[in-house]
Structure 1
């Protein structure tokens, strides 16, 4: 009877992992399934089942979960849209000053302003996009 309870608990925990994706409930579910197997095979009392569950959960949390998180963890997101423009070079089309300027960035013309408001970049100079502020590229000539 105890093995069936452990089996159901393991299946419910493993299924609930789909809602979190943190691998915590999965480790507890696998520990419960292992406890169900040991309980069915050995016929341990409840305190024995608890020891098996605790030992399995400890091994899974300390040994298996970190390796799985490294292997299947979320990769760094690929920057898209304006986030992908940071670090790109741009050609100054009109002088870039504190309140005016245009650059050609990725085949498109953007309004631009310098990172340091005291600087002015002349037309024809290559600059680098430090960030995008609304629809304005904040650029820097570099060292």
Structure 2
């Protein structure tokens, strides 16, 4: 295999690594593709096979070691609360008197829920606006 063939094979490898990058959205494949392009450059400049492989490995590992942690830090997004977790912290309206023993009702997110007071000594009267602090089963804990 001559030098021209080597750089062409490295570019074919880079393109082949780009396919799983697009299909799986795993950036590591892109980092390997960049390593293959670096190895193709070395091959085009007349570097031997051992040097080409070392450049491929060094560039790929360096990118994964440096770029991946930075990308992970910036890609973190707050989790979207769903289900019961989305109801915590919401406001509700008391429909039936609510106290610490339970038995009261509130309107929460357009639905009627049984409710009890977080503070067992506190009662909430009809029409009061309250905050939901937790959900236990089908009962909203309010304050």
TM-score bin (small chain): 0.7 to 0.9
Between the two proteins, the alignment pairs up a number of residues equal to 137
Partner residue of 2:13?
Answer: 9
Cα distance in 2 between the residues matched to 1:102 and 1:66: 48
| Cα separation, partners in 2 of 1:84 and 1:95, compared to 1, 3 Å | same
TM-score (structure 2 length as normaliser): 0.73
Cα drift, residue 115 of structure 1: 7.0
For the 8 Å contact 1:11–1:33, the answer to whether it is kept is: no
| RMSD after superposition | 2.9
Partner residue of 2:69?
Answer: 66
Cα distance in 2 between the residues matched to 1:51 and 1:114: 67
Cα drift, residue 79 of structure 1: 3.5
TM-score (structure 1 length as normaliser): 0.73
Cα distance in 1 between the residues matched to 2:116 and 2:19: 53
**Which runs of 5 or more residues in structure 1 are unaligned?**
none
| Cα separation, partners in 2 of 1:38 and 1:82, compared to 1, 3 Å | same
For the 8 Å contact 2:20–2:29, the answer to whether it is kept is: yes
**Which runs of 5 or more residues in structure 2 are unaligned?**
none
Secondary structure of the structure 1 residue equivalent to 2:69: helix
Cα drift, residue 123 of structure 1: 2.1
Partner residue of 1:39?
Answer: 43
Partner residue of 1:122?
Answer: 124
| Cα separation, partners in 2 of 1:83 and 1:23, compared to 1, 3 Å | same
Partner residue of 2:93?
Answer: 91
Secondary structure of the structure 1 residue equivalent to 2:47: coil
Partner residue of 2:107?
Answer: 104
Cα distance in 2 between the residues matched to 1:27 and 1:119: 61
Per-residue deviation, residues 81-105 of structure 1 (Å, max 9, x unmatched): 7543221122222123666332133
